[in-house]
Structure 1
């Protein structure tokens, strides 16, 4: 983590390769880095993709054991036109499976009972999830006065002001746990949900904003538009509109990252952490590899597609280190994913939905659970079901760190009480993520500003990933596509 001298004091290592014209180093082979490298390669750019671990895909990994399929990280994602075009290019459309349309219920636990979350206005009026007082409070939302300024505000503060504490506790809080594994009291409404934040800012209330936009969220920000405007007509981002679908693949999410990896043969360097990054005149020196075997390469541009905290382990020029210190401070609470398999007869609940989310007020060990075998086919053998539970996050980080036996014991208590599980699981797969999901906390603008400054003051350096432009798989894929287009434009301008 040593800060180096300014660039004019640094001499490139003697083994530095002069590199090739239009060459780019992509650092990090998670989904963002894979997509960025793939898109750059399509444009004829000479790409080298560095990955510190022994595998690609980051959190996207899939295990197959005794007929059970367990995802280590994301279980699905929502498509878009650019994503559909990418899947077609990778010849993956035949491997896609859409989420079971009959499993469209989202359950919320209240007072130890699963309640179906209302997805329509009539359902909102008839649901038992919310009291009459809470329903009236939602109906009165248009009368709530708009804030006098656009200052940053926590999600909890925003929702309490506009819709009341009960909606916060039994609607927003559990969904935030499902998306960010985060805390509504510390997460920023402006940065975690910018388009919802803009409904109040632009229209005075959420209801008025939804009516004005006919239920659609406001358009992308000026920054998003500027990025999109860079796309040329050959780019996947110019693909025709398509229906958004919640999908995975027949053999799980790793199908996607494996296909991207296969398309990048010859460009990928596994087990090769980047240790040194320095701008040398108009180009960049990237030194990577294990101790004693590191090699340097000079490239025209660098895409950092790693988690924010990875910057802390790299040697950077002093000026860049100062900005990077702000980005490195992004919090990633730990999360454990625990997939359990049961005989179908040992689970009383129908599991007729997407899954269940558990509000903080319920004081349970798990944040929520996906009914994996209901959502996609072939996730469990015949006569069995699988349930993927998530533990820890900002709510209970210490629980995420527990060993497998203790975690299974705690989780089973919740599953027995909430889903009527009997007996013991016949399958268990536990994956611990010590740093899981970046937290867009109040004041996150400082992180975004630092990232913007790193790019503007260091031409040819680009930062991408889930700490910057959204935490979902779809967000990360879009980030990779957009960064690739920006880099391609930079290389064109640079000649």
Structure 2
């Protein structure tokens, strides 16, 4: 047995959450060991270069609202490789009646867009007049249907949340995912008025949407390189109480430490805790994760005519099209695509379509490619297609999830030194996980 008591923190998992925890511990000079069962770190952050183009099979961009991504890149020595999203971000498309309808983030665009009917626009703009009472928690779909109407929810809200959370908006928790909007309704009686007032608050840092010249994986690779001496590629099999602290048993060895931070998926941690905390173990295992299929396609640029400007498009489930949406990667990050190609990332699956788990990837690819070509008006086949199936991609924050998070806090208070982290705790985006990691390390440092 290797005794790390009082000396080294143990981190479980080498995805972005575990790596970020390791990095912030490293910055504070706190010794640690990070265990990762795969042959490489990064988890779902995966970038590959094909035909001179960078393909991100996990996250495709980093929305840096606080400046933390830029600060982290600077600390890691890779800030020179940061790239900012192009002006294409401002134009998006929503599918309605099997055609692409333009939508920009402006009141004029909302009034002029063909995404909504005139009646639905009036209902949406009349949101401040809606007199409704809100329960403490409810689904996003129920909440916003009361505020802005059914049609706006079907054609604006549903496609956005299907794209971000791969979820069912009539199950996702308002309190977990849209706490600010819930506060606006509570404090101002209107989501719209609350949003307008919050816009007046001056932002300390200019928000940016970013990537790296080698893709998002360049970030996780850079962290891994900096803390490589602390990484052990071995699978953890058991976590249990020891005296003092905790015993962590891997495939090849046993370790004890007073401080263990889990950054592995909820279901993985649940299996490790079966003999330790059966009730929490069951709850962790039962947290739902929606599957996603990320399909990268390259077309010859000359075959895309006319070329559309914009971020890409989203598909409302009401359209009964299997494709969830497409990111026009060569538009938003032209630096990542070879000049003679048009690159798109197609998204499929989610809580509405678990069939991707049992159908062959080739059959799903064929179906969504046909839908994509129809919507884009492309009559040729792509020059390259490659997919990655994430069987458990995104944790679902369904109604009642806030109570689940409270039980995580209670478990930690009853088991000092054992911390639960990762995207099911901190949020599904890379910046969410980095922020959560930094806050946890700051909290830990005060007690070490």
TM-score interval w.r.t. the shorter chain? over 0.9
> Aligned equivalents of 2:357 and 2:281: distance in 1?
28
- 1:65 Cα shift? 1.8
Aligned length: 447
SS of match in other structure, 2:2: coil
> Aligned equivalents of 1:207 and 1:409: distance in 2?
41
The reply on whether 1:286 has 2:268 as its aligned counterpart is no
> Aligned equivalents of 2:375 and 2:196: distance in 1?
37
Q: 1:313 to 1:208 in 2, by over 3 A?
A: same
- 1:20 Cα shift? 5.1
Q: Which residue of 1 aligns with 2:162?
A: 177
- 1:60 Cα shift? 0.3
Match of 1:303 among 261, 272, 279: 261
Conserved 8 A contact 1:278-1:316: no
Conserved 8 A contact 2:426-2:433: yes
Match of 1:197 among 178, 182, 187: 182
> Aligned equivalents of 1:427 and 1:266: distance in 2?
38
- 1:300 Cα shift? 2.1
Normalising to structure 1: TM-score of the pair? 0.87
Q: 1:106 to 1:400 in 2, by over 3 A?
A: farther
Q: 1:400 to 1:156 in 2, by over 3 A?
A: same
Residues 329-348 of structure 1: CA deviation (Å, up to 9, x unaligned): 11001110000111112223
- 1:215 Cα shift? 5.5
The reply on whether 1:251 has 2:214 as its aligned counterpart is yes
> Aligned equivalents of 1:418 and 1:334: distance in 2?
24
> Aligned equivalents of 2:127 and 2:183: distance in 1?
15
- 1:275 Cα shift? 1.3
Q: Which residue of 2 aligns with 1:45?
A: 30
Residues 43-91 of structure 1: CA deviation (Å, up to 9, x unaligned): 1111100112111111001111222321110011112233222111101
Q: 1:366 to 1:216 in 2, by over 3 A?
A: farther
- 1:482 Cα shift? 1.2
Match of 1:376 among 328, 333, 339: 333
SS of match in other structure, 2:228: coil
> Aligned equivalents of 2:100 and 2:5: distance in 1?
59
Conserved 8 A contact 1:19-1:297: yes
Q: Which residue of 1 aligns with 2:363?
A: 406
SS of match in other structure, 1:387: strand
> Aligned equivalents of 2:62 and 2:201: distance in 1?
20
> Aligned equivalents of 1:216 and 1:110: distance in 2?
35
Bigger mean CA offset, 393-402 vs 87-96: 393-402
SS of match in other structure, 2:369: helix
Q: Which residue of 2 aligns with 1:424?
A: 381
> Aligned equivalents of 1:118 and 1:375: distance in 2?
15
Please give the residue correspondences for 1:41-440 in structure 2 after superposition, counting only pairs within 5 Å.
Answer: 41-79=26-64, 80-147=66-133, 150-214=135-199, 241-270=204-233, 272-289=234-251, 294-318=252-276, 320-399=277-356, 401-440=358-397
- 1:138 Cα shift? 1.4
Bigger mean CA offset, 26-35 vs 467-476: 467-476
RMSD of the TM alignment (CA)? 1.8
Residues 473-495 of structure 1: CA deviation (Å, up to 9, x unaligned): 1101111111111221221xxxx
Match of 1:471 among 428, 431, 443: 428
SS of match in other structure, 1:435: strand
Unaligned stretches of 5+ in structure 2?
A: none
SS of match in other structure, 1:345: helix
Bigger mean CA offset, 203-212 vs 88-97: 203-212
> Aligned equivalents of 2:199 and 2:228: distance in 1?
46
Q: Which residue of 2 aligns with 1:10?
A: none
Q: 1:372 to 1:445 in 2, by over 3 A?
A: same
> Aligned equivalents of 2:296 and 2:164: distance in 1?
18
